[in-house]
Chains A and B, each alone.
Chain A
Amino acid sequence: MAKPYIMLVDDEESFVEPMQKRLDKRGYKIIAAYSGDEALRQMDTHRNLDVVILDVKMPGMDGIESLKEIKKKFPLVEVIMLTGHATVESAIEGMKLGAFDYLMKPCEMDVLTAKVEEAAGKKHAHEEKIEKARIEKVMSTRGV
């Protein structure tokens, strides 16, 4: 299975940079965005994104709002919330709104990659199901 296509959204560049490098080194295809708005714009052009790692606390459109928008426009893309301790509550709220899971900063790379794989797996399984359903639909209409 191909490595998941990831987008990292965080307003803090110094955090995004090493993270991006590390994930890249592990063979993930990764792009970065530094705000909620930018993330949504990027997603319009990168339609094959699998997982979005989203910081909860950002200036402007914050994590929760971004999540709502993402889930509205791209319901299949899985989102992992990334949070400092102060925002665990919002992370929980995020999960209620359809985020896949949440992680606390700073997080172990292994834990992060495991979560990303899991999320991507879920997304692919979901996509497959949809594909299957579509085929079945085509088949059934043919049959009629």
Chain B
Amino acid sequence: MKKDKGKQSQYYQTLTRKMILTVIIVSFTPMVLVIAILLQQFNASYHEKTHAHLSELVQKHKQNIDSFLQEKLSTIEFLASTQRLSRLNDNDFLYETLIKLRRDYDNVFVDLGLIDEKGIQRAYAGPYELEAADYSNAKWFKKAISEPEFISDVFLGLRGFPHFIVATRVKKNGGFWLMRATVNFNAFNSLVHNFQVGRTGFAFILNRTGEFQAKPNQEIKPCSQCYSFFWEAVEKTRNNILITRWTDDSGRENLYAVGSLKNGDWLLIVKQQAEDAFSDLNRMSNIALLIFLVGGTAIIGMAAFTSKQMVRRIRKADQETEMMNKQIIETGKMASLGELAAGIAHEINNPVAIMVEEAGWMGDLFEDEPFAESKNLSEFKRSLAQINTQGQRCKEITHKLLSFARKTDTTLKDVQVNQLIQEIVGLSEQMARYNKVTMATELQPDLPFITISPSEMQQMLLNLINNAIDAMSKSGGTIKIITKLSRLEKDHIVIIVEDDGPGIPESNRERIFEPFFTTKPVGRGTGLGLSICYGIVQKMGGKIDVHSTVGEGTRFRIWIPVQK
């Protein structure tokens, strides 16, 4: 029994788990799919958009810077090619020109100078004392003298201040001359200095050796490894903008947009933290995740709750069905037993009738002459009387059996059950007193009338009372009969017959309503009393049950419907 229950509860647990799992899978799969696909799509398009934006920015700045440099170079070239050497070699002229250029170009030019092919500055106009300076060993000079035009990297030079040089080579009077101008670094730097994208995006310019040519307005850590990678990558992409990602030493992922400047000498790099660049995307992902988590929790909670509730209902229904089945089986068993009993009763009744008749005939014959003198006459007569008596007893048994089979004559009447009970109690009291049993009643007044056969009701109550008296015949006790309106069953009267006798052992309790089940000694009981009660109650449309505790007593309850 206990094992069974354990198995059952395990079955219901498995059922619950399966239901929860099914609900979760069914509801999560589409949710996860939709969120994943949407995020993926959004992610892709957002990346594309961000990349395009950065690329455009870099492109624009690249053009700006290139044109800035080109403009400065053109100015110098124009100056150098249009003026005679004597004029260019004149400090005063250069000074005048510088002032003019400063006016025109917003102080971009710091100084002007003319250098001969040996590297000696022949003429100079500017704030520094650089007349006759010797550049013959300067790297930039060597490079500048070999090319028609030249823009240097930013360097400190003789003046100890970051600047870069724009120079053009001209051939005058049979020799090479270099016309050079220093460009104000600050003016150039401002081209990238104020550049900002998002919260963390800034721009800077690098030369081939990885030195900063223009710096952003914030601290920046050089990253030689990534710069060399950029150089390679940019050369491959030619003039296009490279967009790439690089994780720096601190583990932060950065988004880089790289374009080449100054015919591939410099790199314009825009760097932005990926986190910042995709902050909208991240926020979106976070919201999606939050919705997913909240929704998921709700789904799991609901799934668990509803599944449990459903399983509880199923369990209850199962239990009800089981109980119903038990009842049906019980009723069926009783019905078939009843039929069997009726059949047996009928079959036995006829032979018994014949036996009794034959015995009677023998008795009749003994009245005749020849037998009257037989010395055993009295014995014969006693024997015949005994046959007759036992025949009558058989008749009684079959009669009871047939009562159980509900085939006795009954006339239904409207009965006040309390009155009936009082009559029966009156009948039984004598016998009860003889067995030291007291009778008590607790009858609810004004009970509705019930439509039953009074003789059947009488028979049933007498059976119950007699059983109780028999059970208590040794020790004595009390039989209590209670009537009231049932609270459990609507429109039913309940009659309770209880005693404080020895009780019914559990092993017998299930069988007491079966015909021929008796615990009384052979010859004392037929085992039909309670089965008759059962049959009668069934016929009345009511029901009967028994509660018994060994040593404390037994209680029979009978529910009888009230017709309206």
Contact = CB atoms under 8 A, between A and B. Distances in A.
Interface string B382-405: 000000000110010011001001
Contact of A85 (B354, B356, B391, B408): B408
B345 A109 contact: no
A129 to B, nearest CB: 32
B396 to A, nearest CB: 10
Given A15-B354, A18-B354, A88-B408, A106 B399 contact: no
A109 B402 contact: no
B361 A105 contact: no
Contacts of A14: 354
A84 B349 CA distance: 7
A15 B398 CA distance: 18
B360 A88 contact: no
Contacts of A21: 361, 364
B357 A15 contact: yes
Contacts of B399: 85
Contact of B346 (A15, A86, A92, A107): A86
Interface string B323-342: 00000000000000000001
B462 interface: no
Contacts of A22: 357, 360-361, 364
A92 B410 CA distance: 11
B353 A109 contact: no
A12 interface: yes
The secondary-structure label for the interface of chain B is helix
B350 A15 contact: yes
Of listed B345, B349, B353, B407, residue having the most chain A CB within 10 A:
B353
Contacts of A12: 350, 354
Nearest to A82: B353
A25 interface: yes
Interface in A86-130: 86, 88-89, 92, 104-107, 109
B355 to A, nearest CB: 8
A18 B408 CA distance: 28
A106 B361 contact: no
Interface in A1-31: 12, 14-15, 18-19, 21-22, 25-26
B409 A106 contact: no
A55 to B, nearest CB: 10
A106 B391 contact: yes
B369 to A, nearest CB: 13
B358 interface: yes
Contacts of B356: 106
Of listed A14, A85, A86, A109, residue having the most chain B CB within 10 A:
A85
A38 to B, nearest CB: 19
B360 A109 contact: yes
Contacts of A104: 395
A19 to B, nearest CB: 6
A35 to B, nearest CB: 16
A130 to B, nearest CB: 33
Nearest to B349: A84
B345 A85 contact: yes
B360 A89 contact: no
11 contacts: A15-B350, A22-B357, A22-B360, A84-B349, A84-B398, A85-B345, A85-B398, A85-B407, A86-B407, A89-B409, A104-B395
Pairs of residues from A and B, 9 with the lowest C-beta to C-beta distance, nearest first: A106-B353, A106-B356, A105-B353, A18-B361, A85-B402, A18-B357, A84-B349, A86-B346, A15-B354
Interface of A: 12, 14-15, 18-19, 21-22, 25-26, 84-86, 88-89, 92, 104-107, 109
Given A88-B408, A106-B395, 9 more contacts: A14-B354, A15-B353, A18-B354, A26-B364, A84-B345, A86-B346, A86-B402, A86-B407, A106-B391
Interface of B: 342, 345-346, 349-350, 352-358, 360-361, 364, 391-392, 395, 398-399, 402, 405, 407-409
